[in-house]
Amino acid sequence: MRVAGHWGFLVDDRWRLVYVTEELRFTFGGHVELAEFAIGEGFFGPESKVASRTWRFGVNTDDLFRSFLEQVGGLMLADTPGGRDALRAQVDPSFYDIVELLESDERDVIAFVAEASGLGRTVGVATLAVRVRDREGRLVGTMIITKPDAGMALIGAVTSMNDPRHFERIQLVARADRRPAAILFADLEGSSGLARRLPTASYFALGRRLVTAADQCVIDAGGIVGRHVGDGIVAFFLAETLGSESAAARACIEAARSLRHATDRVAERSEIPAEEIRLRFGLHWGSTLYVGNITTSGRSEVTALGDEVNEGARIEACATGGRALASKALVERLNSSDASALGLDPAHVTYTALAELTTATDKARRDAPSISVCEL
């Protein structure tokens, strides 16, 4: 179960909890910590019931625990010497009424859909209970394996369309917190003109190719994809995941450069001249960003709050002509090694305040006039 990455746990022949996979513990911990289980205690005993109240997801209410016991209780009754009275002594007193209604179940394998708490609602969990026997056929325990109540075709489609490296980074920011990070803003210039000139289907395909290329560039550079707004792209490069502030700043610049090159392939596939796909880039540093993942039943995205986010958007809006403008705060995060790898010399860069740029927007002059930037 561990090697295969399953949600699952193992109980002994008296339904005392022996093992829980880390995948299950991490999920029940809300993807921010490993949930605690009462190892060595009865799975439906008082200790396990108390432990379940600390789980963010899973079988963490009386009703959910009762429902699960109703599904596997027949196996427990068949496994328990002394029958119903002995089984009653193993479970929490609040479950006595369920024990009275159980029928012994001698099957070696049962399958059912359990209910669990997830994202503020009850969800189905496909569950397989398999008795485990030794070489002589004696019962030694029961293995419980679970999965989302969805067909593998659907699960496979979802996972194949996403990069597991990105999923892992998203899980690291499931708990929102202050996280120093480089910020990348990019937007397609002249998108309104393209939208008017191209057939709707062609423009949609162009937009899809562009955000697909952008996301891949961000992921390959070690970043986290933020929201997509129209033709706009936002990404974050966290110091904690990339190892240092310098590495985060370097990754941000590398992602911008990779995306600039990738637009040629997007243009070729879209059968339009390469010069018609020009991206504005705004690169900034956020020392006090509050970064976290927001997941609902309809979507999941990483977002950040902080003045630097708005400032990054203002920098990007000033980068007309397909330029990449980077703030002084970002460039000066680079150590000598990372700067050299990028072909930059931070000690000999000339900066200009946003308000002094001929391309400065009214919002830039209003919200971030003194931020110093250079063109990369």
How much is the pTM? 0.75
CA distance 316 to 256: 12
User: What tokens were used for 242?
Assistant: 């990339």
Q: Which residues, 6 or more positions from 15, have their beta carbon under 8 angstroms from its beta carbon?
A: 42, 43, 44, 76, 79, 80, 90, 142
- Give the C-alpha separation, 234 to 227, whole Å: 6
Domain boundaries, the chain: 7-155, 162-375
Does this chain's domain 7-155 share its CATH topology with 162-375? no
pLDDT at position 161, please? 65
Structure tokens at 165: 């490296």
Q: How far apart are CA 218 and CA 199, in angstroms?
A: 29
pLDDT at 260 over 90: yes
Mean pLDDT of 200-220: 93
pLDDT-derived band at 80, boundaries 50, 70, 90? very high
CA 350 to chain centre: 38
pLDDT at 296 over 80: no
Residue 1 has pLDDT above 70, yes or no: yes
State residue 31's pLDDT score: 82
What integer pLDDT is reported at residue 158 of this predicted model? 66
Residues 36-70: pLDDT tens digits?
A: 999 999 999 999 999 999 999 999 999 999 999 99
* pLDDT band of 232, cuts 50, 70, 90: confident
Residues 25-41 have pLDDT tens digits of 999 998 888 999 999 99
CATH homologous superfamily of 7-155 = PAS domain (3.30.450.20)
Per-residue pLDDT, averaged over 245-274, amounts to: 95
User: pLDDT tier at 374 (50, 70, 90 boundaries)?
Assistant: very high
With respect to CATH, is domain 162-375 assigned 3.30.70.1230? Answer: yes
Residue range 193-218: mean pLDDT, rounded: 92
In this predicted structure, which of 123-132, 163-172, 285-294 has the lowest mean pLDDT?
163-172
Q: What is the pLDDT of residue 368?
A: 93
Please report the pLDDT score of residue 295 as a whole number: 76
Q: What pLDDT score does 300 carry?
A: 76
Q: What is the pLDDT of residue 160?
A: 65
- The amino acid sitting at 7 is W
**Mean pLDDT, to the nearest integer, of 335-359?**
95
Tell me how far apart the alpha carbons of residues 58 and 116 are, in angstroms, rounded to a whole number. 5
The pLDDT assigned to 163 comes to 77
Task: Report residue 10's pLDDT band, with 50, 70 and 90 as the boundaries.
Answer: very high
What is the Cβ-side half-sphere exposure of residue 367, based on CA atoms within 13 angstroms?
15
- For the cut 80, the answer to whether the pLDDT of residue 119 exceeds it is no
301 pLDDT band (50/70/90 cuts)?
A: confident
Identify the pLDDT of residue 228.
Answer: 80
8 has a pLDDT exceeding 90: yes
- pLDDT tens-digit readout, 143-187: 999 998 888 887 777 666 677 788 788 888 888 899 999 999 999
The separation between CA 60 and the C-alpha centre of its own chain, rounded to angstroms, equals 22
Mean pLDDT of the chain: 92
Three-state secondary-structure class, residue 330: helix
